[in-house]
Structure 1
Amino acid sequence: MICTLCKTHVLRHGTLCSTCTTNTLGHLHRLPRMWAALETWLAPGTTGAAQYGGRVRHPEAPLPLDTEVLTLRAAGGITGVLEDWADAVRHTRGLPERPRVGSLAHRVTAAAGYLASQIHFIALWEQGPQLGREIGQLVDRARNAVQRDEAEEKGRPTFLGYCIAVDPSGVICGARIPAAIDRPVQCAWCLCPYPPETWLQLRHLQPGRREFTEEQVAA
């Protein structure tokens, strides 16, 4: 039997090959971080007081707001797909469904975590390939929403700003922080981490009067 997801590897048992199983597990671990990071592409840039004096121009999110990002962030987007599959796994295993309560951030993390914990069952389940396919499509859609062709990238943030970490002597790091939704983000110079929940705050605390455009940061 051939794995029906990749249509490449021969299976001795189950429905997902080891490569597709590993990829699906990686996608499940990645999706909550990607969901959180998409918030940066929803918030328009504004002008306001900076912590270190002066007024700043924030990196701009696209205007009008991207409907694909809105869809992925909504209850029926990434969260809903993960919860539907989590309920399907529970139903198949004779377990009660969980109520969909709490914030969307909590729900997407809980559903992805549950599916990750069931990955060995999913690899044997007849619906495993379809689950893997839909989870992979979610990851691709989230990436594509923030990584358009060059002609469409104008106005989209390709970096978050400049590191605002302060060393013991009181000096601000100031290194460039790249934007990424599918991997942890940290300053390459001082290694200060910037998880998605800190991104909007980082943008509000940018020092100086600087336009964040590709021409100015290309050097």
Structure 2
Amino acid sequence: MNECGLCEQVLEDGYLCPGDTLGLAERLERMPRLYEALAGFLTPAARGLGEAVSRGPAVATLPVDEAVLDLRYGGIALVLESWLSAVQEARGWGQPAVQGSPEGRVYRAARSLGANLEWIAAAYPAAGDLAREVREMEGAALSIVGALPDRGRRLGQCVAVDASGVICGAVVWQRPGQKLRCDWCGSSYQTEQELLVLLHGLSKAGAAEDVA
């Protein structure tokens, strides 16, 4: 018998209960969007237009919010990547590549951890520590940005294929008044055929052959 590493619920086996596994999955899915939302809070709020202006000596203000800076340039990406590195080492795999923009690094690390969640919950003794750190990191970010805005209706996963033949796989959301497109790779879904490809998870090549 084991205990859930987060809530200490008794488990027949494994290291993370189903509820906390689901919670971790949802936090990992939200993390890239939360990371993007933090960008709007980097600069401290400007002085209100109706606020009295002092005639005394000018006082230098901090050009950026340090808490946001820590999360945007270090915190989120490094935490997720360090856990992904530890998971891959525990599985006997090579180390993950760390490259690209901070946004891309957060997305790739969060997505890769999500892809390993079944194994993490079942076989990774540090699963509770991982879940706890991700929860605390999300809480720190939400204390800055507040509740995330409604991201719309989930339609499916992006089926665009890049030059190397890898399917994007990011979730595509439908938002009122906005064109339907993948937030990650930028692929659009405007025509009826493109929408059917998205909704049914078909490859574009396969769909084209069927139409022909």
Q: Is 2:13 aligned against 1:6?
A: no
- In the alignment, which residue of structure 2 is the partner of 1:160? none
SS across alignment from 2:71: helix
Q: For 2:27 and 2:143, how far apart are their aligned partners in 1?
A: 15
SS across alignment from 1:13: coil
Letter in 2 for 1:41: F
- In the alignment, which residue of structure 1 is the partner of 2:35? 35
Q: For 1:25 and 1:182, how far apart are their aligned partners in 2?
A: 19
Are the structure 2 counterparts of residues 104 and 94 from structure 1 closer, same or farther at C-alpha, using a change threshold of 3 Å? same
Letter in 2 for 1:4: G
Normalized against structure 1, the TM-score is what? 0.59
Q: Which is bigger in relative contact order (C-alpha 8 A, separation at least 6)?
A: 1
RMSD over aligned CA atoms reads 2.8
Q: For 1:96 and 1:29, how far apart are their aligned partners in 2?
A: 24
Letter in 2 for 1:123: A
Give the number of aligned pairs: 145
1:112 to partner: Cα distance: 0.3
Q: Is 2:127 aligned against 1:128?
A: yes
Q: Which runs of 5+ in 1 are unaligned?
A: 47-56, 148-179, 198-219
Structure 2 matches for 1:46-195, cutoff 5 A? 65-74=64-73, 76-124=74-122, 125-147=124-146, 180-181=147-148, 183-184=150-151, 191-193=176-178
Are the structure 2 counterparts of residues 182 and 82 from structure 1 closer, same or farther at C-alpha, using a change threshold of 3 Å? farther
- In the alignment, which residue of structure 2 is the partner of 1:153? none
- In the alignment, which residue of structure 1 is the partner of 2:25? 25
Normalized against structure 2, the TM-score is what? 0.61
Task: Confirm or deny: 8 A CA contact 1:38 1:181 kept in the other structure.
Answer: no
SS across alignment from 2:141: helix
Q: For 1:185 and 1:35, how far apart are their aligned partners in 2?
A: 18
Q: Which runs of 5+ in 2 are unaligned?
A: 50-60, 154-174, 184-212
Task: Confirm or deny: 8 A CA contact 2:32 2:106 kept in the other structure.
Answer: yes
Q: Percent identity?
A: 34
